[in-house]
Amino acid sequence: MSDMEPQSSKFRLQEQRQAAAQQQSGQQQAGLEFATAEELLRHDAAQVTPPPTLRQRLHLTLRGQKPVKRRWWHRLFARNPTEP
Amino acid sequence: MASVVETVAPVETPSPTPPATPALEPREFAAVYETYSRPVYYLALRLLGDASEAEDAAHDVFLKVFRHLGEFRGESRLRTWLYRITINHCRNRLQTWQRRHIGTVPDDRVWDNLPSPADSPLRLLETKELGQRIQQTLDALPEEYRLLLLLVADERLSYEQVAELTHQTADAVRGKLHRARRAFAVEFSKTA
Protein backbone atom coordinates (compact mmCIF):
# COMPACT_ATOMS: atom_id res chain seq x y z
CA MET A 1 0.00 0.00 0.00
CA SER A 2 1.45 3.35 -0.99
CA ASP A 3 1.33 6.60 0.96
CA MET A 4 -0.59 8.15 -1.92
CA GLU A 5 -3.56 5.91 -1.32
CA PRO A 6 -6.72 7.76 -0.28
CA GLN A 7 -7.44 7.77 3.44
CA SER A 8 -10.82 6.05 3.04
CA SER A 9 -9.32 3.01 1.35
CA LYS A 10 -6.78 2.73 4.19
CA PHE A 11 -9.63 2.66 6.65
CA ARG A 12 -11.44 0.05 4.60
CA LEU A 13 -8.38 -2.16 4.55
CA GLN A 14 -7.96 -1.72 8.27
CA GLU A 15 -11.60 -2.67 8.84
CA GLN A 16 -11.19 -5.75 6.66
CA ARG A 17 -8.12 -6.79 8.63
CA GLN A 18 -9.93 -6.29 11.92
CA ALA A 19 -12.90 -8.29 10.70
CA ALA A 20 -10.61 -11.11 9.58
CA ALA A 21 -8.82 -11.06 12.93
CA GLN A 22 -12.12 -11.15 14.80
CA GLN A 23 -13.34 -14.03 12.67
CA GLN A 24 -10.12 -15.93 13.28
CA SER A 25 -10.26 -15.38 17.02
CA GLY A 26 -13.90 -16.47 16.99
CA GLN A 27 -12.92 -19.70 15.27
CA GLN A 28 -10.17 -20.29 17.77
CA GLN A 29 -12.60 -19.70 20.64
CA ALA A 30 -15.10 -22.08 19.14
CA GLY A 31 -12.57 -24.89 18.93
CA LEU A 32 -10.67 -24.78 22.19
CA GLU A 33 -8.79 -27.84 23.25
CA PHE A 34 -7.21 -28.56 26.62
CA ALA A 35 -4.79 -31.37 27.35
CA THR A 36 -5.70 -31.66 31.01
CA ALA A 37 -8.35 -30.63 33.50
CA GLU A 38 -5.94 -28.14 35.03
CA GLU A 39 -5.49 -26.36 31.71
CA LEU A 40 -9.23 -26.06 31.37
CA LEU A 41 -9.51 -24.77 34.93
CA ARG A 42 -6.76 -22.24 34.25
CA HIS A 43 -8.71 -20.99 31.26
CA ASP A 44 -11.84 -20.82 33.39
CA ALA A 45 -10.03 -18.96 36.17
CA ALA A 46 -8.80 -16.37 33.69
CA GLN A 47 -12.42 -15.58 32.77
CA VAL A 48 -13.53 -15.05 36.37
CA THR A 49 -13.04 -11.75 38.15
CA PRO A 50 -14.19 -10.93 41.66
CA PRO A 51 -17.30 -8.74 41.71
CA PRO A 52 -16.57 -5.04 42.37
CA THR A 53 -18.98 -5.23 45.31
CA LEU A 54 -16.47 -7.43 47.14
CA ARG A 55 -13.99 -4.59 47.36
CA GLN A 56 -16.69 -2.13 48.34
CA ARG A 57 -17.99 -4.42 51.08
CA LEU A 58 -14.50 -4.96 52.42
CA HIS A 59 -13.86 -1.26 52.40
CA LEU A 60 -17.03 -0.60 54.39
CA THR A 61 -16.31 -3.40 56.84
CA LEU A 62 -12.74 -2.30 57.39
CA ARG A 63 -13.72 1.31 57.97
CA GLY A 64 -15.23 0.16 61.22
CA GLN A 65 -12.13 -1.78 62.23
CA LYS A 66 -8.59 -1.03 63.25
CA PRO A 67 -5.82 -3.29 61.99
CA VAL A 68 -4.49 -5.65 64.63
CA LYS A 69 -0.95 -4.64 65.50
CA ARG A 70 1.73 -7.25 65.74
CA ARG A 71 2.01 -7.94 69.44
CA TRP A 72 5.32 -7.69 71.26
CA TRP A 73 5.41 -11.39 72.08
CA HIS A 74 4.99 -12.26 68.41
CA ARG A 75 8.07 -10.24 67.63
CA LEU A 76 9.93 -11.65 70.60
CA PHE A 77 8.99 -15.28 70.02
CA ALA A 78 8.86 -15.04 66.24
CA ARG A 79 9.79 -18.70 65.92
CA ASN A 80 6.53 -19.95 67.38
CA PRO A 81 3.74 -17.54 66.72
CA THR A 82 0.26 -18.89 66.38
CA GLU A 83 -0.77 -19.05 62.77
CA PRO A 84 -4.45 -18.44 62.19
CA MET B 1 5.18 -6.58 58.58
CA ALA B 2 8.27 -6.13 56.45
CA SER B 3 8.35 -9.86 55.78
CA VAL B 4 4.84 -9.69 54.33
CA VAL B 5 5.81 -6.93 51.99
CA GLU B 6 8.80 -8.92 50.88
CA THR B 7 6.65 -11.97 50.29
CA VAL B 8 4.24 -9.91 48.26
CA ALA B 9 7.07 -8.25 46.39
CA PRO B 10 7.24 -10.67 43.44
CA VAL B 11 3.71 -9.58 42.79
CA GLU B 12 1.83 -11.09 39.96
CA THR B 13 -0.02 -8.71 37.70
CA PRO B 14 -2.84 -7.27 39.79
CA SER B 15 -6.30 -7.27 38.37
CA PRO B 16 -7.28 -3.90 36.94
CA THR B 17 -9.33 -1.88 39.38
CA PRO B 18 -12.04 0.54 38.35
CA PRO B 19 -11.10 4.07 39.42
CA ALA B 20 -14.32 4.58 41.37
CA THR B 21 -13.65 1.72 43.80
CA PRO B 22 -12.59 2.67 47.29
CA ALA B 23 -9.01 2.35 48.47
CA LEU B 24 -8.20 -0.35 50.99
CA GLU B 25 -5.91 0.55 53.86
CA PRO B 26 -3.32 -0.15 55.07
CA ARG B 27 -1.09 -0.34 52.03
CA GLU B 28 0.20 -3.87 52.67
CA PHE B 29 -3.30 -5.20 52.91
CA ALA B 30 -4.32 -3.38 49.73
CA ALA B 31 -1.37 -5.00 47.92
CA VAL B 32 -2.40 -8.42 49.19
CA TYR B 33 -5.96 -7.84 48.03
CA GLU B 34 -4.89 -6.65 44.58
CA THR B 35 -2.69 -9.67 44.08
CA TYR B 36 -4.78 -12.41 45.59
CA SER B 37 -8.44 -11.42 45.33
CA ARG B 38 -8.74 -13.20 41.99
CA PRO B 39 -7.33 -16.60 42.98
CA VAL B 40 -9.08 -16.52 46.36
CA TYR B 41 -12.43 -15.65 44.80
CA TYR B 42 -12.02 -18.26 42.07
CA LEU B 43 -11.15 -21.00 44.55
CA ALA B 44 -14.13 -20.07 46.72
CA LEU B 45 -16.40 -19.91 43.69
CA ARG B 46 -15.51 -23.37 42.47
CA LEU B 47 -15.50 -24.92 45.94
CA LEU B 48 -18.87 -23.44 46.89
CA GLY B 49 -20.44 -23.39 43.44
CA ASP B 50 -22.28 -20.13 43.95
CA ALA B 51 -21.17 -16.59 43.11
CA SER B 52 -22.79 -14.81 46.04
CA GLU B 53 -21.59 -17.42 48.51
CA ALA B 54 -18.12 -17.08 47.03
CA GLU B 55 -18.26 -13.33 47.47
CA ASP B 56 -19.27 -13.75 51.11
CA ALA B 57 -16.49 -16.27 51.62
CA ALA B 58 -13.87 -14.08 49.95
CA HIS B 59 -15.01 -11.13 52.05
CA ASP B 60 -14.62 -13.16 55.26
CA VAL B 61 -11.28 -14.56 54.14
CA PHE B 62 -9.84 -11.10 53.50
CA LEU B 63 -11.24 -9.88 56.77
CA LYS B 64 -9.36 -12.69 58.52
CA VAL B 65 -6.28 -11.82 56.52
CA PHE B 66 -6.61 -8.19 57.57
CA ARG B 67 -6.85 -9.18 61.21
CA HIS B 68 -3.98 -11.63 61.14
CA LEU B 69 -1.64 -10.22 58.54
CA GLY B 70 0.65 -9.05 61.32
CA GLU B 71 0.93 -12.63 62.55
CA PHE B 72 1.88 -14.07 59.19
CA ARG B 73 5.29 -15.53 59.84
CA GLY B 74 6.51 -15.90 56.30
CA GLU B 75 7.47 -19.55 56.73
CA SER B 76 4.94 -20.59 54.14
CA ARG B 77 4.23 -18.44 51.14
CA LEU B 78 1.49 -15.90 51.46
CA ARG B 79 -0.43 -17.64 48.70
CA THR B 80 -0.39 -20.93 50.61
CA TRP B 81 -1.50 -19.19 53.78
CA LEU B 82 -4.38 -17.47 51.97
CA TYR B 83 -5.45 -20.69 50.29
CA ARG B 84 -5.42 -22.50 53.62
CA ILE B 85 -7.73 -19.87 55.11
CA THR B 86 -9.97 -20.03 52.04
CA ILE B 87 -10.18 -23.82 52.04
CA ASN B 88 -10.98 -23.97 55.75
CA HIS B 89 -13.53 -21.23 55.46
CA CYS B 90 -15.28 -22.87 52.50
CA ARG B 91 -15.29 -26.23 54.26
CA ASN B 92 -16.93 -24.66 57.29
CA ARG B 93 -19.55 -23.01 55.13
CA LEU B 94 -20.29 -26.25 53.31
CA GLN B 95 -20.53 -28.17 56.56
CA THR B 96 -22.86 -25.56 58.00
CA TRP B 97 -25.21 -25.72 55.07
CA GLN B 98 -25.25 -29.52 54.92
CA ARG B 99 -26.80 -29.15 51.54
CA ARG B 100 -24.31 -30.34 49.00
CA HIS B 101 -22.82 -33.66 48.07
CA ILE B 102 -24.58 -35.68 50.68
CA GLY B 103 -24.55 -39.22 49.38
CA THR B 104 -24.32 -38.04 45.80
CA VAL B 105 -20.65 -38.52 45.01
CA PRO B 106 -19.81 -41.99 43.74
CA ASP B 107 -16.91 -44.08 44.91
CA ASP B 108 -13.77 -42.96 43.07
CA ARG B 109 -13.27 -46.43 41.55
CA VAL B 110 -16.31 -45.76 39.38
CA TRP B 111 -14.23 -43.71 36.98
CA ASP B 112 -11.61 -46.43 36.60
CA ASN B 113 -14.10 -48.82 35.04
CA LEU B 114 -15.66 -46.45 32.57
CA PRO B 115 -14.54 -46.03 28.99
CA SER B 116 -13.00 -42.65 29.39
CA PRO B 117 -11.90 -39.72 27.27
CA ALA B 118 -9.30 -39.06 29.98
CA ASP B 119 -6.28 -39.64 27.80
CA SER B 120 -7.58 -37.51 24.97
CA PRO B 121 -7.75 -33.72 25.10
CA LEU B 122 -10.79 -31.98 26.51
CA ARG B 123 -12.41 -30.37 23.49
CA LEU B 124 -14.77 -27.46 23.54
CA LEU B 125 -16.93 -26.48 20.63
CA GLU B 126 -18.84 -23.92 22.58
CA THR B 127 -17.33 -21.71 25.27
CA LYS B 128 -20.74 -20.42 26.24
CA GLU B 129 -21.79 -21.71 29.64
CA LEU B 130 -18.37 -23.21 30.15
CA GLY B 131 -18.39 -22.07 33.76
CA GLN B 132 -21.59 -24.01 34.40
CA ARG B 133 -20.16 -27.15 32.82
CA ILE B 134 -17.02 -26.88 34.89
CA GLN B 135 -19.01 -26.35 38.06
CA GLN B 136 -21.24 -29.31 37.28
CA THR B 137 -18.17 -31.43 36.69
CA LEU B 138 -16.43 -30.35 39.88
CA ASP B 139 -19.61 -30.87 41.90
CA ALA B 140 -19.73 -34.46 40.70
CA LEU B 141 -16.23 -35.18 42.02
CA PRO B 142 -15.21 -36.09 45.56
CA GLU B 143 -14.05 -33.06 47.50
CA GLU B 144 -10.49 -34.36 47.51
CA TYR B 145 -10.27 -34.50 43.70
CA ARG B 146 -11.98 -31.15 43.30
CA LEU B 147 -9.59 -29.41 45.62
CA LEU B 148 -6.56 -31.17 44.17
CA LEU B 149 -7.38 -30.11 40.61
CA LEU B 150 -8.15 -26.52 41.61
CA LEU B 151 -4.88 -26.21 43.49
CA VAL B 152 -2.75 -27.90 40.86
CA ALA B 153 -4.35 -25.63 38.26
CA ASP B 154 -2.64 -22.73 40.00
CA GLU B 155 0.76 -22.89 38.37
CA ARG B 156 2.28 -20.80 41.13
CA LEU B 157 1.80 -23.61 43.63
CA SER B 158 4.33 -26.42 43.68
CA TYR B 159 3.29 -30.03 44.29
CA GLU B 160 4.88 -29.68 47.72
CA GLN B 161 2.64 -26.72 48.53
CA VAL B 162 -0.43 -28.54 47.22
CA ALA B 163 0.60 -31.48 49.41
CA GLU B 164 0.89 -29.18 52.41
CA LEU B 165 -2.55 -27.73 51.76
CA THR B 166 -4.17 -31.12 51.31
CA HIS B 167 -2.31 -32.81 54.18
CA GLN B 168 -0.53 -35.47 52.20
CA THR B 169 2.81 -36.12 50.53
CA ALA B 170 3.79 -34.68 47.16
CA ASP B 171 3.99 -38.25 45.83
CA ALA B 172 0.43 -38.88 46.95
CA VAL B 173 -0.62 -35.71 45.15
CA ARG B 174 1.03 -36.89 41.94
CA GLY B 175 -0.60 -40.31 42.30
CA LYS B 176 -4.08 -38.98 42.93
CA LEU B 177 -3.84 -36.33 40.28
CA HIS B 178 -4.01 -38.92 37.52
CA ARG B 179 -7.23 -40.36 38.94
CA ALA B 180 -8.64 -36.88 39.51
CA ARG B 181 -7.95 -35.92 35.88
CA ARG B 182 -9.61 -39.07 34.67
CA ALA B 183 -12.66 -38.50 36.84
CA PHE B 184 -12.87 -34.91 35.64
CA ALA B 185 -12.69 -35.95 31.99
CA VAL B 186 -15.45 -38.53 32.43
CA GLU B 187 -17.74 -36.13 34.25
CA PHE B 188 -16.95 -33.25 31.89
CA SER B 189 -17.92 -35.31 28.86
CA LYS B 190 -21.30 -35.94 30.49
CA THR B 191 -22.03 -32.21 30.60
CA ALA B 192 -21.68 -31.72 26.83
- The 10s digit of each residue's pLDDT in B94-104 is 888 755 555 45
Task: Compute the C-alpha angle B3/B12/B86, nearest 5°.
Answer: 70
Lowest model confidence (mean pLDDT) among A6-10, A12-16, A33-37, B139-143? A6-10
Asked, for residue A44, whether it belongs to a domain, the answer is: yes
Choose the most confident range, by mean pLDDT, from A28-37, B110-119, B124-133, B158-167: B158-167
Closest chain A residue by Cα to residue B179: A37
Record: contact A59-B23, CB cut-off 8 A: yes
Distance CA B132, CA B143 (A): 18
- Containing structural domain, residue A29: 7-76
Asked, for residue A84, whether it belongs to a domain, the answer is: no
Asked, for residue A40, whether it belongs to a domain, the answer is: yes
The interface pTM score, or ipTM, of the predicted complex is 0.77
CB of A12 within 8 Å of any CB in chain B?
no
Provide the pLDDT for residue B142: 94
| Residue type for position B180 | A
Question: Do residue B88 and residue B14 come from a single domain?
Answer: yes
Record: contact A38-B33, CB cut-off 8 A: no
Provide the pLDDT for residue B46: 97
Q: Which domain CATH number covers B120?
A: 1.10.10
Which burial class, exposed, middle or buried, applies to A58 when counting CB atoms under 10 A from its CB (0-12, 13-18, 19+)? Answer: buried
Record: contact A38-B51, CB cut-off 8 A: no
Q: Which of B71, B97, B123 is the last residue of a domain?
A: B97
Question: Do residue B133 and residue B63 come from a single domain?
Answer: no
Asked, for residue B166, whether it belongs to a domain, the answer is: yes
**Residue of B134, B165, B182 to mutate for A, most A C-beta atoms under 10 A:** B134
CB of B13 within 8 Å of any CB in chain A?
no
- Greater confidence, B97 or B133? B133
A1 Cα to chain B: minimum distance (Å): 38
Question: Do residue B80 and residue B9 come from a single domain?
Answer: yes
Number of domains making up chain A: 1
Record: contact A62-B41, CB cut-off 8 A: no
Segment A40-75, tens digit of pLDDT: 999 999 999 999 999 999 999 988 866 555 555 555
Residue B91 has pLDDT above 80, yes or no: yes
Record: contact A55-B21, CB cut-off 8 A: yes
Residue B4 has pLDDT above 90, yes or no: no
Q: Which of B68, B97, B126 is the last residue of a domain?
A: B97
Lowest model confidence (mean pLDDT) among A60-69, B20-29, B115-124? B115-124
- Greater confidence, B92 or B24? B92
Distance CA A4, CA A15 (A): 19
Residues in A closer than 8 angstroms to B68, CB to CB, are 68, 84
Which residue(s) pair with B122 in the sheet? Answer: A34
Record: contact A55-B24, CB cut-off 8 A: yes
- Containing structural domain, residue B186: 108-190
B154 CB neighbour count, 10 Å cutoff: 18
Mean pLDDT of chain B: 81
Q: 3-state SS of chain B: helix, strand, coil percent to 5?
A: 65, 0, 35
Question: Do residue B68 and residue B134 come from a single domain?
Answer: no
Point out the residue among A44, A71, A78 whose CB comes nearest to the CB of B131: A44
Q: Which of residues 106-135 of B touch A (CB under 8 A)?
A: 121-127, 130-131, 134
Provide the pLDDT for residue B114: 56
Closest CA to A83 of B31, B70, B151: B70
B13 CB neighbour count, 10 Å cutoff: 8
CB of A75 within 8 Å of any CB in chain B?
no
Task: Compute the C-alpha angle B34/B51/A58, nearest 5°.
Answer: 40
Question: Do residue B85 and residue B136 come from a single domain?
Answer: no
Asked, for residue A1, whether it belongs to a domain, the answer is: no
Number of domains making up chain B: 2
Residue A39 has phi, psi (to 5 degrees) of -60, -45
